[in-house]
């Protein structure tokens, strides 16, 4: 005996589903509008700093991220982070204590994420993809400290957007050669050797060990970009 589909129930479920999806679209639009409105008023270049929310305060990477925040402000940049603890807090702290602009793009999560106190401008996001658009749209460079899945997701997005020409070329700087060496080796031995990326794609990022190296490389990239644009 064949089963019969209850079309009335299926149709009813679709009706229940549609209004929720429509409202979700409006919520997504509102996040784009608010973030673009608030970030679009900036009168300086900003640098995004990515890294783990779990980095302890006694970590060498935490201390280096504080220094990155300070040196970026001293070089005339504003600092954008995810607004949470760990590396995000460290970079925000450095920028805040140096008297610069510290922007936190906070994400609503059931655990780990809470706004750090070193933000003089804070935005809240429900959706990761809206938040990532905001990071990319308003960043003139990206500094990446050691982190987990979230950090990998963020810097992979940036690398992909630069590689495919969807955003302008910006400096992408990894801090911590000891931490990143295994991944960089895998890029070379697997992705390049197997033809998954081009050898030149390895030049899309720079690996350094200190805040001084990171900011120095960033400034040199921007000076070169200005010289090139004049020609």
pLDDT at 14 over 90: no
Rounded to 5 degrees, φ, ψ at 166 are -75, -20
What is the per-residue pLDDT for 185?
98
What is the per-residue pLDDT for 229?
57
Structure token pair of residue 7:
């079309």
What is the per-residue pLDDT for 114?
77
Domain count, the chain: 1
pLDDT at 8 over 50: no
Mean pLDDT of 141-155: 97
Q: Which residue's entry shows tokens 């679009």?
A: 40
Residue 11 included in any domain: no
Report the alpha-carbon distance of residue 66 to residue 231 in Å, rounded. 37
Question: Which residues fall within 8 angstroms of residue 220, CB to CB, at 6 or more apart?
Answer: none
For residue 21, name the pLDDT band (cuts at 50, 70, 90): confident
Residue 165 included in any domain: yes
Report the alpha-carbon distance of residue 16 to residue 9 in Å, rounded. 10
Residue 16 included in any domain: no
| Residue spans of alpha helices (H) in the chain | 7-39, 60-74, 87-97, 128-137, 149-163, 177-186, 211-230
What is the per-residue pLDDT for 231?
53
Residue 19 included in any domain: no
Residue 56 included in any domain: yes
Residue 24 included in any domain: no
pLDDT at 155 over 90: yes
- pLDDT tens-digit map of 161-206: 999 999 999 999 999 999 999 999 999 999 999 999 999 999 999 9
Range of the domain at 84: 43-230
pLDDT at 227 over 70: no
Question: 98: domain CATH number?
Answer: 3.40.50.450
What is the per-residue pLDDT for 96?
97
% of the chain surpassing 70 pLDDT: 87
Residue 2 included in any domain: no
């Amino acid at each position: 005996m064949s089963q019969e589909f209850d079309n009335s129930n299926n149709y009813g479920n679709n009706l229940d589903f549609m209004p929720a999806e429509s409202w979700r679209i409006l919520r997504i639009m509102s996040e784009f509008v608010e973030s673009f409105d608030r970030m679009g008023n900036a009168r300086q270049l900003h640098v995004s700093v990515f890294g783990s929310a779990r980095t302890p305060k006694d970590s060498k990477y935490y201390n280096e991220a504080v220094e990155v925040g300070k040196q970026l402000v001293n070089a005339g940049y504003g600092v954008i982070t995810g607004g949470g603890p760990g590396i995000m807090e460290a970079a925000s702290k450095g920028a805040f204590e140096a008297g610069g602009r510290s922007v936190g793009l906070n994400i609503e999560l059931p655990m780990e994420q809470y706004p750090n106190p070193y933000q003089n401008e804070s935005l809240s996001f429900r959706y990761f993809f809206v938040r990532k658009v905001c990071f990319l749209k308003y960043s003139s460079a990206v500094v990446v400290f050691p982190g987990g899945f979230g950090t990998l997701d963020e810097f992979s997005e940036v690398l992909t957007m630069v590689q495919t020409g969807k955003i302008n070329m910006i400096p992408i700087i990894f801090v911590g050669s000891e931490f990143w060496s295994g991944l960089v080796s895998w890029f070379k031995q697997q992705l390049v050797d197997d033809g998954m990326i081009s050898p030149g794609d390895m030049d899309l990022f720079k690996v350094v060990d200190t805040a001084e190296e990171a900011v120095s490389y960033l400034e040199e990239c921007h000076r070169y970009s200005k010289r090139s644009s004049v020609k």
